[in-house]
Amino acid sequence: MAGLRDTSAYSAYLRGYDELRSRLQQLDRIVVTPIVLGELDAGFRAGSQRKQNEAELRRFLASPRLRWFRWTRRPPSATARSCTPCGPPARPFPPTTSGSASAMQHGLRVLTTDAHYNRVAQILVEFFGDG
């Protein structure tokens, strides 16, 4: 079983969110996208615990269960455009939803604490409250 871990889930894991930690332990593969890595790097550069966070990230990236998401020939933006929002369509999705929408192409569940993923009917989501 595999799951795509978004940036919010990574942060919640570091904060010790037990329900998410338990779920991650059940997965055979944890998939991350280059977008998540970029968001984490940007957050670490702005934060006060950069060295500690980067060390933790290196441990995570060394995990044998980690898989990098590989883009397919159909760009993720095309997949995101095909998603139908549930709820008010006037509210735009954050740009990272476009990257995680690619998980839909591969049947991956997005593990997240961000509620905006629940508005995309075609993405399988495991929502962990507000982490």
56-113, pLDDT tens digit by residue?
888 998 999 999 876 655 555 555 555 555 555 555 556 556 556 667 777 888 899 9
CB of 45 closer than 8 Å to CB of 9: no
11-37, pLDDT tens digit by residue?
899 888 999 999 999 999 998 888 888
Q: Is the pTM of this model over 0.85?
A: no
Q: What domains can be seen in the chain, in order of their start residue? A: 2-127 (3.40.50.1010)
Cβ burial of 33 (10 Å; 0-12, 13-18, 19+) is buried
Residue for token digits 């995101």? 80
